[in-house]
Amino acid sequence: MSAASSTKAPSSPAGSAGPKASKASRRRQSDTDPLTLALAPPPNESMQERTERLALAATAAQTSRAIDEALLQEKRALDKKKEDVKILLLGQSESGKSTVLKNFRLRFTPEYFDSERAAWKIVVLLNLISSIRTTVNTIQAELAAPEFTLVSPQHAQLCTELQPLLHQEETLVSLIAVSPHFTDPGEALVRPGGAWKRVLAESDEARAAAAIVHELREEIEALWADTAVRELLEKRGISLKDGGGYFMDDIHRVTALDFVPTDSDILRARIKTLGVEEHFFEKEAAAPGTKGVKDFWIYDVPGSRGSRAAWIPFFDMVQAIVFLTPLSFYEVLEEDTRVNRLEDSVVLWKEICSNKLLEACSIILFFNKMDILKAKLKAGLIVREYVTSFADRPNTYAGATGYFKEKFRAYHKRLSPQPRAFFYYETTAVDTRSTAKIIGTVHEEIFRRHLKDSILI
């Protein structure tokens, strides 16, 4: 018993000394740990200083949690975006991409479309003023000629009376334009997104400009009703209706103080955007005729020749391309008058069809602005004078569209890296009723193919 006690007695102090030594070691380590030192209260801290320090620490912790939550939400949004259907609008400048995009908004997000009417009212007025500016400049150029016959000093007086209107154009453009260095006289070039729309809808300057347009409506109508002015524009080869001049035939209505633009007005209103527009279409539950609609994205990229390099980054992320081409074989590109519009579209079409990044992508062809082609043919346009390979085919709408449809179909079949269906529609994008049906069909087909591919994956 005593031996057992003697062997056990020395172990007790040793056992009790071990934890004390470990605690001391941890204390020495914490005294030199940078994080511990940084978090430790300063020496001789007062109660007020302690309260302020803890408040700052709580604020910092709250900010950190908010940042973490924002990053998490951003990741969730990115993950969802990867799963959503993405549609790319392609086509040369002035092919009608922006109008088709408005049709998508009208069809699938009508509440959002309605919320922007106040902004589009000012755009309509900008288009109207731009047409007046073109007319005034043409009259002044004629008056400056050595011998003018179509206009008179009375026209010069009318131009002077309309100068306040042109000053309002400068004011409105300065509110929303990216930079005057990127802006043609009287034309606003805006940044992507909706910021410029909010400015126009809420600006006091915009409301004041609308009031001045209203005050000068009689002078505007007198200018446009003058047969000599119409003859002068025709003589100079100026067709206002090919641009924003559509509203010149409806001056009394669009200059009214209580004017609210119709769907058709918004589709015809023109404004240029600098850069790529990204639009998210979120299902509106109350929207009529949108049963089964899924959330999706549309990317509207610049169509000018110098901007087409911006298309490539989108090629590996889209499920469908809506390719727009007007059958404008009788026109040249505005940016390069050496290039025929239709030939440029054909070159683009061949490049898109053959691109291997797009081999699994549906490509949907819109022959757009068909109302213009019909009017041209009715006025006596001869297709074979511009397209020699058209030969002796019927010089009719059906003959022309059938011929070009087969041309585009042949390139699609021959150049696609793998077999895929050919989708083709004839559209007049400013015709809301017919375009809505086409867009509904296109949307349904894109989602059906997307669902099929998802199941296969």
Give ∠ CA 66-68-69 in degrees, rounded to 5.
65
- The answer to the question of whether 96 is labelled as a binding residue is yes
- The answer to the question of whether 320 is labelled as a binding residue is no
Take residue 85 and report the two structure tokens written for it. 């259907």
- The answer to the question of whether 374 is labelled as a binding residue is no
- The answer to the question of whether 231 is labelled as a binding residue is no
- The answer to the question of whether 99 is labelled as a binding residue is yes
CB 88, CB 263: distance < 8 Å = no
- The answer to the question of whether 191 is labelled as a binding residue is no
- The answer to the question of whether 98 is labelled as a binding residue is yes
- The answer to the question of whether 371 is labelled as a binding residue is yes
- The answer to the question of whether 370 is labelled as a binding residue is yes
Distances in whole angstroms, Cα of residue 62 to Cα of each of 39, 73, 76: 17, 16, 21
- The answer to the question of whether 94 is labelled as a binding residue is yes
- The answer to the question of whether 211 is labelled as a binding residue is no
Distances in whole angstroms, Cα of residue 333 to Cα of each of 269, 310, 339: 21, 19, 6
- The answer to the question of whether 272 is labelled as a binding residue is yes
CB 317, CB 376: distance < 8 Å = no
CB 112, CB 266: distance < 8 Å = no
Query: What is the C-alpha separation between 151 and 228, in angstroms, rounded?
Result: 6
- The answer to the question of whether 58 is labelled as a binding residue is no
Percentage helix, strand, coil, to 5, in the chain?
A: 65, 10, 30
- The answer to the question of whether 440 is labelled as a binding residue is no
Give ∠ CA 328-330-332 in degrees, rounded to 5.
80
Binding residues for Mg(2+), by number, are 98, 273
Binding residues, by number, are 94-99, 267-273, 368-371, 429
Binding residues for GTP, by number, are 94-99, 267-273, 368-371, 429
